[in-house]
Structure 1
């Protein structure tokens, strides 16, 4: 992607690292779990994936467990309707690879030593909020509110809020601005993400 997008990413690098983490949440085995139990189990899996490092480790987690279609189409905003359905698989793969590459590069700066679920909301058709406290290797910590959606296979994560910012809003702005700067053509984004 162009310099403008790279500059935006660097200026909010920790946000994309969190996107990569929240997006890697597992749906397998979630049918018998509450959202809170699921999130605790999944965070343990995420810490393992972070220790593995590398683009493929992140990409595998993202491909398996992220609510890819909903996050991806929402990120396109009004441009979603102009992206041909035939181009969507390439777009989804590009989005996953983009996040995985960034996470592999930036992840070592944000080593998670513990991730503990601290609460769960009541939940409704819009999903269930699950609150977590994350502790990093440097001793600092922060809270994340995850938005967990029930699916036919278990759960998927739709969004995460850190320091008052919803992560998908950041991705939405990044992708939609890139499309706007490139002639309102979503295929330009697909090509950029595929590099």
Structure 2
């Protein structure tokens, strides 16, 4: 990689935060709300992938497909760009969304062993404005983590809008990283796109 050890650490933090939105879980037999049902469905799909014992491009592709099905990638990616969002060339926007999706999927594959056999317990569900927030607790090989899911209504159902783990929201973690790269490049998107593409080589 062209990045240092500090980026390896931030990459891992981004992965843990992002993958929490898709982790396998063994929740209550019958979820008490439609939102909990939705989270349960996502978790079961990802647990099936994580427990297959596979890695590489095929797994990355499957995980990217799950993200595109359940997660509002465009909203997360736009927020992550912050004030630079309006400077992203219109012709590059769809490519950027795809790169962000593949990037998060590659992070999951890179550390997939950390999430095999993970269980998640739903603690509470509440409404915060237009969002439904689910407080949960993940139990895995590394111990227990408190995770908050932020869901937005979409087409009569839900989409994952953000997730918080270790006290960090995914959107904020990505925004911090993307802003750092874009500030260093003086607004040139080339280095950011190059860094996102590096995920394909992990």
- TM-score, normalised relative to structure 1: 0.83
- Select the residue among 110, 114, 118 that pairs with 1:113: 118
1:8 aligns with 2:7: yes
Note the residue ranges of structure 1 that are not aligned, 5 or more in a row: 26-32
- 1: distance between equivalents of 2:46 and 2:127? 25
CA positional deviation for 1:175: 1.0
1:56 aligns with 2:91: no
- 1: distance between equivalents of 2:90 and 2:117? 37
CA positional deviation for 1:124: 2.5
Map of 1:39 onto structure 2: 39
Distance 1:2 1:78, change over 3 A: farther
SS at match of 1:121: strand
Map of 1:174 onto structure 2: 177
1:124 aligns with 2:124: no
- TM-score, normalised relative to structure 2: 0.80
Distance 1:174 1:118, change over 3 A: same
For the 8 Å contact 2:121–2:138, the answer to whether it is kept is yes
Map of 2:161 onto structure 1: 158
For the 8 Å contact 1:175–1:189, the answer to whether it is kept is yes
Count of matched residue pairs: 185
For the 8 Å contact 1:83–1:187, the answer to whether it is kept is no
Map of 1:98 onto structure 2: 103
Note the residue ranges of structure 2 that are not aligned, 5 or more in a row: 25-32
- 2: distance between equivalents of 1:139 and 1:164? 17
- 1: distance between equivalents of 2:8 and 2:90? 27
Distance 1:84 1:142, change over 3 A: same
For the 8 Å contact 1:133–1:142, the answer to whether it is kept is yes
